[in-house]
Amino acid sequence: MSSPLRPASALTRRGFGKLTLGAAAFGLATPSLAQGAAPRLVVVGAGPGGATLARYAAQGGGLSVTLIDENPHHITCPFSNYYLGGLYPFEDLVQGFDKLKAAGIEIVQGRAADLDREGKAVILADGTRVPYDALALAPGIDFKWDAVEGYTPEIAETLIPHAYKAGPQTQLLRAQLDALEDGGTVVVAVPGNPYRCPPGPYERVSLIAHLLKSTGRTRAKILLLDAKSSFSKQALFEQGWTRHYPGMIEWVPAEFTGGGFASLDAGARTVTGLSGEVFHGDVINFIPPQKAGAAARLAGLAGEGDWAPVLPETLQSAHDPDILILGDAAAQGDMPKSAFSANSQAKSAAAALRARLLGARAFPARYLNTCWSLIEVGDAVKIGATYKAGAEKIETAEPFISETGESAETRKATEAEAYAWYESFVRDVWG
């Protein structure tokens, strides 16, 4: 379907009369407004958060929208586990920006390297200054490379992929899995909370098991090393593993890893837990601890913390009302770091921004999330919730989760929903 464009009349009827008021409510000298030009929204990151925000903020006109990404396209993490499992083509994870361009959004390829909050400009790695009236930052995550001795970006690129930013990393892991012999061991190491996509590692382990099983390698073992002592949808995953992959997956919780990882030896292919225990894998997928992408930690936006705090109703930075921060990088409260959450946050943030900048009709913020996980072909589960903007943070309103006693038909219907969501979500974000 076409996106649910709000009628342009919403702006023409009410908007322009309130333009001055809108600018005043925004609380600043807005250079573009002073010159009578359309206010300029600059968005950093064309992932689910940033691209959705750019698209929905551009709807109805009145704003000039520039979207900056360091890559010429975005490769989605959602469904990258399906690719690892041999269930989805890699090319279909790659989302281009042509339809965003066609929607009137200016696309700039470059890396946001610095931020001049006083002068209201983003500075790209090549020195270009991009001025803004409003800025949105949705850079996703960075890894804490100093957290685990022996794990570096170079090791990740060549020997021990994290595959937690989709792209060549995902392809490297898949190639290593394809080369694994029957009887070999795969280690998947999972960090403590919070991290991107809480059920992601457990879906990944399920679909690695699917890949191995469907290629006759049922003597292979997967060692799931965890910094935590419980995990998202645990009962559902554990039931699924017993049902579909008996004897193939062993979960090693915090009690044995020590609640984290001290070091990694790429040559010996071992991971050492904080407990001192050493684990060997023929293939190792190491998912490091995480923090907000660097762009959301510029100019004091994350304070002393790893994530950038925001206001629950508008996703404005707690430190700067002219800057929105959304998606994985934001410390917003109860929503998990998911693409669904980022997409949902972007819609409320865009509506609030248009109300502030253009005097468009204001609506109350709404937030929603669902994370589907495929355990085996025909057997998917989900977890989700509605959320509301509380006084301090985004708060869970009503949660739901699949049940272990569900029928096979329900699980199959949930699988169909997961595929339908991905197709629909991609259109909703990138057009």
Ligand X SMILES: Cc1cc2nc3c(=O)[nH]c(=O)nc-3n(C[C@H](O)[C@H](O)[C@H](O)COP(=O)(O)OP(=O)(O)OC[C@H]3O[C@@H](n4cnc5c(N)ncnc54)[C@H](O)[C@@H]3O)c2cc1C
Task: Kindly compute the dihedral angle of the four CA atoms of residues 113, 322, 101, 38, in this order, to the nearest 10 degrees.
Answer: -130
Q: Does 69 bind another protein (CB under 8 A)?
A: no
Report if residue 16 touches another protein, rule: CB under 8 A. no
Rounding to the nearest 10 degrees, give the CA dihedral for residues 43, 45, 331, 372.
Answer: 130
Verify binding: residue 32, another protein, rule CB under 8 A.
Answer: no
- Which tokens in the block code for residue 224? 């799931």
**399 touches which of another protein, ligand X, none (CB within 5 to 8 A by kind)?**
another protein
Pairing of strands 134-137, 40-44: parallel
Beta carbon nearer to another protein, 97 or 422: 422
Q: Is 424 in the site for another protein (CB under 8 A)?
A: yes
Q: 98 with 74: CB under 8 angstroms?
A: no
Residues binding another protein: what is the number (CB under 8 A)?
Answer: 42
Residue of 163, 351, 353, 358 that binds another protein (CB under 8 A): 351
Q: Quick one: which of 83, 151, 231, 425 contacts another protein (CB under 8 A)? A: 425
Strand locations in 178-246, DSSP E?
Answer: 185-190, 221-226
Shorter beta-carbon distance to another protein: residue 27 or 364: 364
Among 171, 185, 263, 370, binds another protein (CB under 8 A): 370
Q: Which amino acid belongs to residue 338?
A: S
The residues with which 264 forms a beta bridge, in sequence order, are 271
- 354 forms part of the interface with another protein (CB under 8 A): no
Interface of this chain with ligand X, residues 278 to 307, rule: CB under 6 A: 293-295
* CA separation, residue 293 to residues 143, 222, 263, 357, 410 (Å): 8, 30, 23, 26, 38
Nearest alpha carbon to residue 346 among 318, 319, 369, 315: 315
For residue 245, state whether it binds another protein (rule: CB under 8 A).
Answer: no
Q: Contact with another protein (CB under 8 A): which of 21, 34, 179, 420?
A: 420
Q: Which does 139 bind (CB under 5 to 8 A by kind): ligand X, another protein, none?
A: ligand X
Angle at 337 between CA 264 and CA 6, to 5 degrees: 150
Would you say 393 or 427 has its CB closer to another protein?
427
In the complex, the residues that contact another protein under the rule CB under 8 A are: 1, 3-7, 9-10, 56, 340, 343-344, 347, 351, 361, 363, 366, 368, 370, 382, 384-386, 388, 397-402, 413, 416-421, 423-425, 427-428
